[in-house]
């Protein structure tokens, strides 16, 4: 059924609807309200022109309206014309498109422009049809509609009422969503503020109980000035970014800005608690710190020669040859071992680093190694043999097996020994401990490759021409490294024993057991 509402019409082009159907004039009744309205037929014609047309006479202009905006486009312009007006006043290329009798209240005088205005406003006349009384529709809160197929009027609900309900429902949902988002945002900001305040209090309480021997505390403005507004970036770590700076006395420093997302201030507290009060030639010195709201920074002595990682894995073979000659590799390993021995045995509390790797070994002006980055460190009593961790910590490839599974043994300072062993093997070979880029599948896992070289007496470094003494030094380093990465922590030496092995004679070292499960079946993590 083709249904067209006539009351309260909201059509964007009512004139088009009136021309599309012919409703007899007797279908229109007087309004039964206090102001009766009587309709009459106004005969009109729609004229279509290929371009805009302006009448030449004033009289003609009063009988012509248009172009009708909702019926016209760029190539067709439609005009509403009084049927009594001659079409001849239009240009020859214009033609009549349609004729219709438009029902118009008597209060509207003739004149096409006024007729067009009436047709384009909301329609408010009442319509009667065969067997249906339109005022009853209005009293029932509905309006009249006309079916062109049945040629009769009938009652139907107000279209605009449905739209109002839809709009009201949509508005209610939108208002609820906005309210929900507002509450959620306010709750998030409140929790975040409270969380930051708790971290700040935790850090401040730690600093108060830390004692008077802690490093110098700086304000954030002092740190920003010290780091020259963070212009010179020299490194990036897991917990923050490192910038080069300078103290007021001209001493160069490294400023490490901790990321705001660092959980519970743990990185900051670990660094200050572990190295804030210790001084050792092979441990980087913490000179100061900043804790101001969510902004936290650590100020270290500056290491101009970057980290050991730069030289071990350099693509430039000249850099590798200049620094990592056998004697220098032995000195570097010994320096790192002495620093770790101090952490494990030389402090009031044992300090477990849990992230020994080439990237965290910095080199000073004389290329002396210094252990850095204590963000994952853990303090424990010196007589405590086993420590408890909720999750593995460290860097993949340097993490001891027991940190993944307690089946390999308990977590202790021997976990650091494992990481040191991996570092030594990488330094000896110039390769990462697991390097997929290596061509031969049997050489993918570095410790297995080195072990085969050691037991068969082959040279480990093929890129250097070495004297016999240098070959023995490389072999000595390899054997020490293989002892350190034994899967059972009990079979690994302490760092004190490692120092003795590095300073002793090669002839006194025994080749260790195979320190791994074959990579063909069980690759190391």
Domains and CATH numbers, the chain: 3-157 (no CATH), 158-302 (3.30.200.20), 306-525 (1.10.510.10)
Verify whether residue 355 is a known catalytic residue: yes
CA distances, 231 to each of 206, 234, 290 (Å): 31, 10, 18
For the whole prediction, is pTM greater than 0.75?
no
Q: What is the pLDDT of residue 525?
A: 34
Q: What is the pLDDT of residue 477?
A: 96
Q: Distance from first CA to last CA of the chain, Å, rounded? A: 74
Q: Read off the pLDDT of residues 162-219 as tens digits, 9 standing for 90 and up.
A: 555 666 677 788 888 888 888 888 877 776 666 556 555 655 565 555 555 567 889 9
Q: Read off the pLDDT of residues 231-276 as tens digits, 9 standing for 90 and up.
A: 999 888 667 889 999 998 888 999 999 876 445 556 677 677 777 7
Q: Is residue 502 within 8 Å of residue 369, measured between CB atoms?
A: no
Least confident of 98-107, 175-184, 361-370, 381-390: 98-107
Q: Is residue 63 within 8 Å of residue 95, measured between CB atoms?
A: no
Phi, psi dihedral angles at 182 (to 5 degrees): -65, -45
Q: Rounded to an integer, what distance in angstroms lies between the CA atom of residue 448 and that of residue 519?
A: 8
Q: What is the pLDDT of residue 317?
A: 62
Helices (H), 4-158: 14-20, 58-63, 112-120, 134-139
Query: Residue 524 pLDDT > 70, yes or no?
Result: no
User: Which of 355, 364, 416, 459 is flagged as catalytic?
Assistant: 355
Query: Residue 277 pLDDT > 80, yes or no?
Result: no
Q: Going by DSSP bridges, is the β-strand pair 64-65/39-49 parallel, antiparallel, or unpaired?
A: unpaired
Positions at the binding site for ATP = 256
Q: What angle do CA 34, 35, 38 make, to 5 degrees?
A: 130
Query: Residue 518 pLDDT > 50, yes or no?
Result: no
The pLDDT confidence band at residue 144, using thresholds 50, 70 and 90, is low
Q: For residue 328, give the nearest of 308, 303, 355, 301 by alpha carbon.
A: 308
Least confident of 123-137, 383-397, 426-440: 123-137
Q: Read off the pLDDT of residues 125-138 as tens digits, 9 standing for 90 and up.
A: 333 333 334 556 66
Q: What is the pLDDT of residue 265?
A: 59
Instruction: State what percent of residues in the chain have pLDDT above 70.
Output: 64
Torsional sign, CA 273, 277, 283, 285: positive
Q: For residue 502, give the nearest of 305, 306, 341, 283 by alpha carbon.
A: 341
Averaged pLDDT for residues 338-345: 95
Lookup: tokens for 25:
């004039």
CA distances, 332 to each of 124, 302, 470 (Å): 97, 18, 15
Q: Read off the pLDDT of residues 402-431 as tens digits, 9 standing for 90 and up.
A: 998 888 888 999 999 999 999 999 999 888
Cα 409 off chain centre by = 39
Q: For residue 370, give the nearest of 307, 298, 427 by alpha carbon.
A: 307
Q: Rounded to an integer, what distance in angstroms lies between the CA atom of residue 259 and that of residue 271?
A: 14
Residues 6+ apart with CB under 8 A from 76: 48, 49, 50
Q: Read off the pLDDT of residues 455-505 as tens digits, 9 standing for 90 and up.
A: 988 887 756 677 888 889 999 999 999 999 999 999 999 999 999 999 999
């Amino acid at each position: 059924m083709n249904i067209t509402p006539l009351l309260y019409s909201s059509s964007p082009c009512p004139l088009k609807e009136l021309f599309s159907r012919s409703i007899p004039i007797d279908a229109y009744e007087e309004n039964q309200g206090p102001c009766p309205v009587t309709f009459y037929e106004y005969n009109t014609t729609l004229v279509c022109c290929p371009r805009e047309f302006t009448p030449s006479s004033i009289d003609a202009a009063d009988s012509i309206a248009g172009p009708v905006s909702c019926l016209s486009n760029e190539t067709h312009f439609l005009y509403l014309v009084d049927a009594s007006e001659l079409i001849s006043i239009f240009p020859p290329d214009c033609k009549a498109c349609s004729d219709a009798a438009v029902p118009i209240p008597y209060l509207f005088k003739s004149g096409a422009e006024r007729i067009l205005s009436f047709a384009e406003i909301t329609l408010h006349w009442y319509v009667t049809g065969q067997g249906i009384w339109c005022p009853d529709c209005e009293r029932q809160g509905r309006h009249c509609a006309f079916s062109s197929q049945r040629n009769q009027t009938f009652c139907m609900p107000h279209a605009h009422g449905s739209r109002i309900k839809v709009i009201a429902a949509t508005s209610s949902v939108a208002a609820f969503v906005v309210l929900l988002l507002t509450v959620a945002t306010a709750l998030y900001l409140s929790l975040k503020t409270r969380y930051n305040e708790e971290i700040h209090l935790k850090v401040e309480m730690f600093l108060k109980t830390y004692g008077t021997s802690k490093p110098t505390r700086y304000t954030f403005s002092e740190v920003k000035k010290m780091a020259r507004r963070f212009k010179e970036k020299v490194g990036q770590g897991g917990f923050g970014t490192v910038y080069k700076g300078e103290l007021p006395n001209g001493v160069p420093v490294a400023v490490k800005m901790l990321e705001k997302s660092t959980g519970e201030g743990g990185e900051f507290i670990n660094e200050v608690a572990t190295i804030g009060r210790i001084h050792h030639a092979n441990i980087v010195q913490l000179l100061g710190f900043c804790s101001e709201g969510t902004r936290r920074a650590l100020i270290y002595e500056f290491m101009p020669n970057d980290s050991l990682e730069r030289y071990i894995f350099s693509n430039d073979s000249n850099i590798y040859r200049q620094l990592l000659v056998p004697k220098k590799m032995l000195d570097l390993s010994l320096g790192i071992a002495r620093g770790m021995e101090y952490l494990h045995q030389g402090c009031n509390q044992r300090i477990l680093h849990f992230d020994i790797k080439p990237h965290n070994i910095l080199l000073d002006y004389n290329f002396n190694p210094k252990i850095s980055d204590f963000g994952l460190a853990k303090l424990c009593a010196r007589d405590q043999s086993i420590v408890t961790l909720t999750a593995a910590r460290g860097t993949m490839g340097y993490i001891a097996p027991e940190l993944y599974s307690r089946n390999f043994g308990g977590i202790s300072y021997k976990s650091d020994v494992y990481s040191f062993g991996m570092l030594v093997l990488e330094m000896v070979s110039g390769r990462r401990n697991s390097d997929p880029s290596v061509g031969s599948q049997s050489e993918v896992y570095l410790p297995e490759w080195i072990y085969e070289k050691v037991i068969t007496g082959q040279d480990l470094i093929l890129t250097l021409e070495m004297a016999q003494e240098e070959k023995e030094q490389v072999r000595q380093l390899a054997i020490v490294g293989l002892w350190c990465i034994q899967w059972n922590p009990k079979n690994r030496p302490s760092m004190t024993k490692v120092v003795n092995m590095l300073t002793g004679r090669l002839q006194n070292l025994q080749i260790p057991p195979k320190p791994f499960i074959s990579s063909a079946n069980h690759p190391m993590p």
